[in-house]
Amino acid sequence: MELFSAFVLILASNLDTLSLGFAYAARGIRIPLWQQALIAVSAAAFTFIALGAGQTVMRILPQTASAFCERYSDRILGLLLILLGAIQCLRG
């Protein structure tokens, strides 16, 4: 299941980046290759750090909190993403 979650996270991140690339291209903004590489490496590094931090926190938490997080984290994070998306839509 961990591998599937990581794959979904990578896919979601790349789809977001793809839509951003289309938006820049539509406006005629060009980003040099070295800056694109820097963005990709930093995004991968922060994703790796976040996944590692999550695993570390899961080892530190007591068993009951850990079970709660495993059971409900997808739902909580999904609701947070929906909320953030709704806020962005309302801002225009």
Give pLDDT tens digits for 69-87.
778 888 888 899 899 989 9
Please state, in angstroms and rounded to a whole number, the distance separating the CA atoms of residues 86 and 92.
Answer: 10
Residue carrying the six token digits 């977001």: 16
**Tokens linked to 58:** 């899961």
* Through-space distance between the first and last CA atoms of the chain, rounded to whole angstroms: 36
Residue 2 lies in a domain: no
Could you give the residue ranges of the DSSP H alpha helices within 1-92? 2-26, 33-60, 63-91
Residue 34 lies in a domain: no
* Number of structural domains found in the chain: 1
Instruction: Give pTM, 2 decimals.
Output: 0.53
Residue 5 lies in a domain: no
Residue 68 lies in a domain: yes
Cβ–Cβ < 8 Å for 60, 67 = no
Q: Please say if the pLDDT value at position 1 is more than 70.
A: no
Range of the domain at 80: 63-92
